[in-house]
Amino acid sequence: MSLSFIDGMQFASGYDSTTGGFLGTTSCLKPQAEPTLATPSRLQQSFSLTKIESKSDLSDSLDVGGKASYNSGVTKVSASAQFAQSQDTNSYSVGVLLKADAVGQNYSLYDTQTKPVLTDAMQKLYDTDYKAFKESCGDYFLNTFTLGGRYAAFFNFTTYSKAQKESISAKLSASSGPFEISADFSKKMQSLASTSTLKVSTFQTAIPGIPSTDLNTLIDDAQKYADKVLTTCADVNALKSCVKSATFNAYVNFFGPPDTKSVAAINAGSAELTSLVVRGNLVENLLGSAKVIALNPAIYDPAARSAVAGAIASAPSWKLGINAAIVACNQDITTCVPSSVSSSGAEAGAEASYGPLPTYQVLTAALSALPDITAKLPTSCGDQQSLYKQYTDQDYTVFIDQDITKSYKLFCRDMAAGNTPLDYLNLGTQNNTQSVVDYTDSQQSGDTGAKLDGKQTTTFTRVKIDPSTLIVNPNDVTYTSSTGFLVRDGVRNDQAGPPPSITLGVAGQCRPEDEALTAVAMVDLTYTPFIFNTTATSFSSNGWDQRQKGTATPSADKKMYTITSGHGFCSSTQPSQIRLQLPQS
């Protein structure tokens, strides 16, 4: 992979901005001539992979402070922070971050015609209002020139199971570190995506850090504040991203120079704000995990779901309360204190509106208690009733051979307690599964001499299936409807009510002539995840005085069988066995 700075990162753009966007150079730098020098050899390209199991991991890997990694509705965050905020990580997801860095000074620095120079307006703003200058041009507005550019891609895999997450995590661990793009990487991503849901997100930015050229004077003033502001919060227990969160560079964007604020107040406020951010990210994790569980609650242990139901129910209010506290902290860091310390601080104010905020310990306990898939995945409607106490007739997800990668939906009938559930496969309302018997202009039935006439078509919307073998029961006509009627010795079969349904996969008629119409039936799996197991599916064709046998022909994709009746007094084709299978991946 070739990643030149100019082609890969867009010249003089893509750097972070505290205003939340990717700013160009028009408002910050004077117009520049086209570069006249080639890229110097010192511009190096490097690639790395980092396993990501939480938003803190992602923020750390992107050099985003913990505070900025959490979306509390504050708009003034960097582009890197926006990217981190937008990613949905939870206890059932794991990912890998690919970083492609073009590292080194941009060649424009070696050309006097293109060397970046601040506009007069920005130079004046830098001299008189440094905070406003940073908000206009961004923390890293010169880094694209002095340090290089970065392309990031986040591959996020969402599973249903903690065990499956751990399995994918182990495979990703082997990929972490220095990296070379290859077909093997592509194959690995495709393989992992086949057993989970994969989302890929990308963005580009500047290399974070301090410019190392004479332009470094632009940020000298900011560096002078480092000794005045908290640089570590090691005393705060178990806050993984604490050190990054509490550094001056992470907070100065929001608080500005300390000036009249006391160092002690900023110390205390920074620690509390870090705690709020970490707790906010844990609540986001809880909410994201709840979404995964809600997609199919039946596959999770009911007792375990019950144990975290209270925390999940409270999570939306917790999120609102934490957001409110963070916003208040942003407005005045000196008010950012726990409610146990002050009844008039930011946290107390949030709790007055949204109720008590959760502690770090409460949240980690809830995340630890999140349910995992039970030892036995449901494979049938009977499992849904007996193992998961489901008593409503409706669609349920089941798993072939308890394999989480082989799921499909059954309509479960007779699910009430004490009943024996019945398993039906939905064919879809637009399917073409029809059985047809056509006695039009028939003279008689050869074996009885009865006079026959009429035509009837039976349409299926569901078929009964044995989930353990995937064999279809063709004789179950519970979910059928019929049009037309058949006549035997002048008596129609619909005189006492709807005509009896024709069984699945049957085509029949009673005219022996070659030119006689052929009845055609179909069995259609188009709107199901299955195909026919053609080696285990068979049909027979027979009749009295049969002149031409009928046929049963599968489509090229094995999604449909077309069945013909043949000719005779009478002639019909019907299934001996219909067996389904999932397509090979």
Identify which of 36-45, 51-60, 184-193 has the greatest average pLDDT. Answer: 51-60
pLDDT tens digits for 226-254?
332 233 333 333 222 222 233 333 333 33
Token digits of residue 37:
């020098």
Q: Who has greater pLDDT, 385 or 195?
A: 385
Give φ, ψ of 12 to 5 degrees: 60, 35
The DSSP result for 438-486, as a single string, is E-TT----TTT---EEEEEEEEESEEEEETTTTEEETT--TTEEEEEEE
**Per-residue confidence (pLDDT) for residue 141, from 0 to 100:** 46
User: Given pLDDT bands bounded at 50, 70 and 90, which one contains residue 272?
Assistant: confident
Please state which of the ranges 254-258, 349-353, 428-432 shows the lowest mean pLDDT: 254-258
Terminal CA-to-CA distance of the chain, rounded, Å?
29
Identify which of 120-129, 221-230, 534-543 has the greatest average pLDDT. Answer: 534-543
Angle at 257 between CA 268 and CA 71, to 5 degrees: 65
pLDDT tens digits for 53-100?
877 788 777 766 544 445 555 444 556 767 777 777 778 788 888 776
pLDDT tens digits for 384-397?
898 878 899 999 98
Cβ atoms of 216 and 164 closer than 8 Å: no
Please state which of the ranges 131-135, 166-170, 350-354 shows the lowest mean pLDDT: 131-135
Domain boundaries, the chain: 1-222, 229-373, 381-426, 434-581
**Per-residue confidence (pLDDT) for residue 193, from 0 to 100:** 60
What percent of the chain has pLDDT above 70?
Answer: 63
The per-residue pLDDT of the chain, averaged, comes to 73
Residue with tokens 């022909």: 553
Please state, in angstroms and rounded to a whole number, the distance separating the CA atoms of residues 462 and 482: 14
Q: With 70 as the cut, is the pLDDT of residue 20 above it?
A: no
38: number of Cβ within 10 Å: 8
298: number of Cβ within 10 Å: 18
Q: How many Å separate Cα 43 from the centre of its chain? A: 37
Greatest alpha-carbon pair distance for the chain in Å reads: 110
Please state which of the ranges 154-168, 243-257, 463-477 shows the lowest mean pLDDT: 243-257
Q: With 60 as the cut, is the pLDDT of residue 490 above it?
A: yes
Q: Which amino acid would we find at residue 286? A: L
What percent of the chain has pLDDT above 90?
Answer: 27
Smallest CA-to-CA distance from 340 within 327, 322, 316, 359 is with: 359
- 3-class secondary-structure state, position 263: helix
User: Given pLDDT bands bounded at 50, 70 and 90, which one contains residue 222?
Assistant: very low
Kindly give the residue spans of alpha helices, DSSP state H, lying in 296-345. Answer: 302-331
Please state which of the ranges 29-43, 114-128, 321-335 shows the lowest mean pLDDT: 29-43
DSSP 297: G
Q: With 80 as the cut, is the pLDDT of residue 331 above it?
A: no
Identify which of 108-117, 127-136, 288-297 has the greatest average pLDDT. Answer: 288-297
Please state, in angstroms and rounded to a whole number, the distance separating the CA atoms of residues 185 and 169: 15
